[in-house]
Amino acid sequence: MRPTLKFLSPVAAAALLLTACGGTTGGDTETPAPGSSETSATGEGGGGSCDGVKIGFFGALTGDYANLGQNIRNGVELALNEHNAANAECQVELADFDSAGAPDQAPGLATKAIGDDKVLGIVGPAFSGESKVANPLFAEAGLVHITPSATNPALAENGWETFFRVLGNDATQGPGAAKYIKDVLGAKKVVVIDDASEYGKGLADIVREDLGDLVVENDTIQAKQTDFSATVSKVRAAGADAVFFGGYYPEAGLMVKQLRDAGIEATFVTDDGAKDEGLIVAGGEAANGTIITCPCLPPEEAGGTFAQDYEKEFGAPPATYSAEGYDAAKVLLDGIAEGKTEREALLSYVEDYNKDGVTKKLQFDERGEPSEVSVWAYKVENGQIVPDQEINVAS
């Protein structure tokens, strides 16, 4: 267990952070969770009814990366609906903190979450860049947060007592991607490209290190870039048989399309930030054959009836990080159902959590990392992202 800190009160923390941040940006909407049933649950640690308490979702619900955020939020909502249906006297609400995936929105949104003393825990932040700036504020205020998708390894190295993660980080995904490129593709000349983001560059740098001399060229692009002619020229000149891109689906889709339009047949490999049908929308038929790595379980393989329940609730199958979002929310909701209705009590509960989730057994080490991790390769076939194989990074 990590040591207990002395936390500021929510009001004091909010006042301090507002002073530090110069006000707030962005906004949140609070959606009462539907559903209740005849049963209830109470417990020790917070005392009394927990009606009106909240968990938050922190991530992109608008903007270029909203697809990934909505996938996660749907998983959170499913877990919350199930909780409320089973706990008539413990109705929990969901507060949305829409970052649009922009790190500069994160401090204001974190301040807003901290200032609402009904918010007991956060699912998120969803992205590594926003996590880097929001997490110190959550740590100072003692607000527990569990990310289902932010994979930069450095997030676990800052001593944030409130930080937890339900999936493997890029110190696993990066070597997994490199192993696939070397052993499965048999590539001899690789160009590695990143989008200069906290997430994309961090992951690409790990891939570069693991590939070593196989990397014959490097390149950096920018988020929202649409013309990749300079990158295409570098890949052509390098004679690459594989390209790895660390970044997100809007740029990945356009990049692979422009590579294919230029007649370049090098296998295009990318990451979990690009594991979305938005890649296929942007890339069209050129996206076929793309390899995508992800430290995430194929959602159709999640435990229990998760996939069926999700599709019944939202009219579509679960997508990238829906199951991880569900698991992160379930950890918080289990604690609230057991009466942990104060932030410090809920944090202690999460530190000691040890139960089966739908993606894996959920237990955290002293840095907030999960005890079980896996990396999968996916492939775009006939306009669909399908599982290819699990990558054994231990061998």
Closest-CA residue to 94 (of 70, 69, 123): 123
- Per-residue pLDDT tens over the stretch 45-77: 444 468 789 999 999 999 999 999 999 999 999
Q: Tell me: do 160 and 174 sit in the same domain.
A: no
Q: Tell me: do 262 and 149 sit in the same domain.
A: no
Q: Tell me: do 31 and 158 sit in the same domain.
A: yes
Is 382 a domain residue? yes
Residue 35 confidence class, pLDDT cut points 50, 70, 90: very low
Is 60 a domain residue? yes
- Is residue 184 within 8 A of residue 247, CB to CB? The reply is no
pLDDT of residue 395: 60
Q: Tell me: do 236 and 114 sit in the same domain.
A: no
Name 123's bridge partners: 57, 146
**CATH number reported for the structural domain that contains residue 202 in this entry:** 3.40.50.2300
Q: Tell me: do 244 and 335 sit in the same domain.
A: no
pLDDT of residue 394: 75
Q: Tell me: do 221 and 335 sit in the same domain.
A: no
Q: Tell me: do 315 and 204 sit in the same domain.
A: no
Is 4 a domain residue? no
Q: What is the mean pLDDT of the chain?
A: 89
Is 370 a domain residue? no
Q: Tell me: do 187 and 321 sit in the same domain.
A: no
pTM (predicted TM-score): 0.85
**What mean pLDDT do residues 318-328 have?**
96
Paired tokens of 234 = 């570098």
Q: Tell me: do 27 and 157 sit in the same domain.
A: yes
Domains identified in the chain, total number = 2
Q: Tell me: do 307 and 284 sit in the same domain.
A: no
Q: Which residues contact 184 (CB under 8 A, 6 or more apart)?
A: 377, 389
Q: Tell me: do 290 and 318 sit in the same domain.
A: no
> % helix / strand / coil in the chain, to the nearest 5?
45, 20, 40
Is 207 a domain residue? yes
**What mean pLDDT do residues 88-101 have?**
96
- Per-residue pLDDT tens over the stretch 368-391: 999 999 999 999 999 999 999 999
DSSP 343: H
Give the residue carrying structure tokens 């020229």.
Answer: 233
Q: Tell me: do 185 and 318 sit in the same domain.
A: no
Is 2 a domain residue? no
For residue 157, how far is the Cα from the chain centroid?
17
What value, to the nearest 5°, has the Cα angle with vertex 320 and ends 160 and 271? 75
Is 352 a domain residue? yes
Paired tokens of 217 = 């060229």
Paired tokens of 39 = 């049963």
Give the residue carrying structure tokens 């019944």.
Answer: 312
Q: What is d(CA 370, CA 354) in angstroms, rounded to the nearest whole number? A: 10
- Per-residue pLDDT tens over the stretch 178-203: 999 999 999 999 999 999 999 999 99
Residues in the chain: 395
Task: Provide the domain limits for residue 163.
Answer: 10-169+299-363
